[in-house]
Amino acid sequence: MKPGYRAYACVGVGAVTAWGSAAAPAAQPLSRHQVALQLDTGATAWMITATALVLMMTLPGLALFYGGMVRRKNILATMTQQVAISALVTVLWFLVGYSLAFGVGSDALQPWIGGLDAALLNGVRPDTAHNLAKGLPEYLFFAYQLTFAIITPALITGAFAERMKFTGLLLFMTLWHVLVYAPVAHWVWGGGFLGKANVLDFAGGSVVHVNSGVAGLVCALFLGPRRGYGREMMAPNNLVYTTIGAALLLVGWIGFNAGSAGAADSIASVALLNTILAPMAAALTWMAVEWRERGKPTLLGLLTGVVAGLVAITPAAGFVEPKAALIIGAVSGPVCYASAVWLKNRLKYDDSLDAFGVHGVGGLLGALLTGVFATAAVNPSVGEHGVLQQAYGLVVTILWSALATFVILLVCKHTTGLRVTPEQEIEGLDYTLHGEALHE
């Protein structure tokens, strides 16, 4: 630790640093989650950049990645989902999501959920900081966490692509954000019981990937397969779109993982390096398995391997040495291949774009391996940890995500409805739901 710097905890990470000079006291009383801003200009500049990178992961990254993998008649509908979710979650995060995840309510409820002290950004001013990130303006902390809140439900759409009603989607995402994402983020990062139990999740292995992957699996099972699944060709319509989207995800993931350090420091640096090493190792091992099994390596396989490695390193990025990141990535390729190809084919569920196979399983693997490889030599805040603690956090997250998602789907089914009509599905959602279509 450099002289003149002070350690503090930031969401999803252990130790980060902030310049220790004190700002003028806030003119108004502070909420329980707030402290007076002690501005770290270097950290602030980096986190503004990281926020832009993570936002890019959804728009245009995930929109292109998913859009290229569906059939041509559903490209625009798939991209529309990403834009609509981004807009919807932004407003929900402002209204109540941020406060539920990172606010402070009653002491009795604090292990489970935040308060409403920061609803509509009440009390948030230019001179306030969240007590988890004392060197960053709270507006910036809010914005950075917003980008995580956006991409998590957006990932779920890959599991039910090409068959959900748009009205059902909007209601589902509204309820899921409030009832699933905000509580789980609070449990791990916002001062809740999983964080207190030292469940390690640097940048969202459980909160983002396992959470969204399990929800996606429940959605896929609840809605049932697409018409013709297993009988008709459902190949990606444009792997160029998917390649561009994957490249944007890879670059944006640097903001996702290295940004979770909350500062421009050595922890951010190792997180950045690990975020490059792991997906490249995963791409090679996925390719090797696919080559052996199918006789040819494919572009889609390499790209999926990259994403699998990114997912797996996310919970560990700022906690492990680069050698461990290489191992995590190398293991994630075959494991995610097995879940996305062998398991799905054997159980015959239609996880359209492998949201569970890659994000759910990759996040679970990465979280468990974090318990194996996390070390105080990289991040002094690691503390006592282990695979059992990580497994405990995963079990809680999986159970809540699955149960709450199932209840939300029941509500949607009996209100807006969930499944498009057979005629709409056959014609394609671009035109039938949105009145738009790509021309030949």
pLDDT exceeds cutoff 90 at 89 = yes
Residue 190 pLDDT exceeds 90: yes
Check pLDDT > 80 for residue 15.
Answer: no
Q: Please report which confidence band the pLDDT of residue 439 belongs to, taking 50, 70 and 90 as the band edges.
A: confident
Query: Per-residue pLDDT averaged across 408-422, rounded?
Result: 98
Q: Where are the domains of the chain?
A: 33-430
DSSP character at residue 6:
E
Q: Which of 18-32, 63-77, 266-280 has the lowest mean pLDDT?
A: 18-32
pLDDT at position 27? 60
Percentage of the chain modeled with pLDDT above 90: 91
Contacting residues for 401 by C-beta, under 8 A, at least 6 apart: 180, 184, 210, 211, 214, 215, 218
Asked whether the CA dihedral 102, 103, 104, 105 is positive or negative, the reply is negative
Is residue 315 scored above 90 in pLDDT? yes
What is the model's pLDDT at position 7?
33
On the question of pLDDT at 231 being above 90, the answer is yes
pLDDT at position 440, please? 67
The owner of tokens 């998602």 is 405
Name the DSSP class of 59. Answer: I
Q: Is the pLDDT of residue 13 over 50?
A: no
pLDDT score recorded for residue 4? 33
- CATH 1.10.3430.10 at 33-430, yes or no: yes
The pTM assigned to this predicted structure is: 0.93
| pLDDT greater than 70 at residue 23 | no
